[in-house]
Amino acid sequence: MFRRLLFILIACFFAISFSNSAWSSVEGTWDVSGVANVKLSASGFGSGSDTEYFTDSFTFYNDGSFEMIDVGGTYILNKGKFTVTLSNDDIASYMETMMEDILDMYGYTVDVHDVIISKNSFKGKESLSDGTISGKFKLGITLSIYFYDFGYNFNGKATATASFLGTNKIPLSSSSSFHSSALSKNPLAEIICNEILRSISNSGTAVLK
């Protein structure tokens, strides 16, 4: 059970105004790829970690808003360096729903609750020399998962660090919409879900033990 919860947490992995300057070329939709590492610890289970590759789409709008495939927020840009602000409440709500849906696929009725975001840092920079963006997203959370079938409450703490590189920027004027550009992507959540489903199909055994 511990390792599968670690996979699920990975799946759930990863400003108010816009600074108008010569660096505003960050505006647009970027093809993003990277590596996410998640460490999970829980009383009675010890600790563990795992790493997965992901692809995503980051869109920086000229009004200071920001979107990736799973969540959105705002950003500020200052001399080629950007800081993205994602709502802690939105992240917590997303993780609760995602983990409940995934565990439901295994036949487990659960209540994911008391998700608290202790760290939320999303920073990067733009390189004018090679036309890319790069950065890191760091997330720290504590959470509880109540398994109704067993009358058991799992309490854990996780930290996630994702390094990313963005290339092939599409200007906003050329993008029909964020969602259409995201259709061809394989975000981390989808990759992990597919791997879990394949493992169920191949083994024919229960996932959480």
pLDDT digits (tens, 9 = 90+) for 74-118: 999 998 999 999 999 988 888 888 888 888 888 889 898 999 999
Q: What is the mean pLDDT of residues 25-49?
A: 82
Q: What is the mean pLDDT of residues 139-155?
A: 86
With 50 as the cut, is the pLDDT of residue 197 above it? no
The pLDDT assigned to 24 comes to 53
Q: Which of 22, 25, 50, 45 minimizes the C-alpha distance to 35?
A: 50
Question: Over pLDDT 90: what percentage of the chain?
Answer: 29
Q: What is the 3-state secondary structure (H, E, C) of 144-174?
A: EEEECCCCEEEEEEEEEEEEEEEEEEECHHH
Count of beta carbons in the 10 Å neighbourhood of residue 17: 11
pLDDT-derived band of residue 166, with 50, 70 and 90 as boundaries?
very high
Weakest mean pLDDT among 118-127, 131-140, 157-166, 170-179: 170-179
Q: What is the mean pLDDT of residues 14-22?
A: 35
164 to 58, 167, 183: CA distances (angstroms): 11, 10, 19
> Where are the extended beta strands (E) located within 98-151?
110-127, 132-147
With 80 as the cut, is the pLDDT of residue 165 above it? yes
Count of beta carbons in the 10 Å neighbourhood of residue 8: 27
Out of 66-75, 79-88, 147-156, the most confident range is 79-88
Q: What is the mean pLDDT of residues 31-59?
A: 82
Question: Over pLDDT 70: what percentage of the chain?
Answer: 70
Buried b / exposed e across 93-121, counting CB within 10 Å, b at 16+? ebbbebbbebbeeeebebebeebebeebe
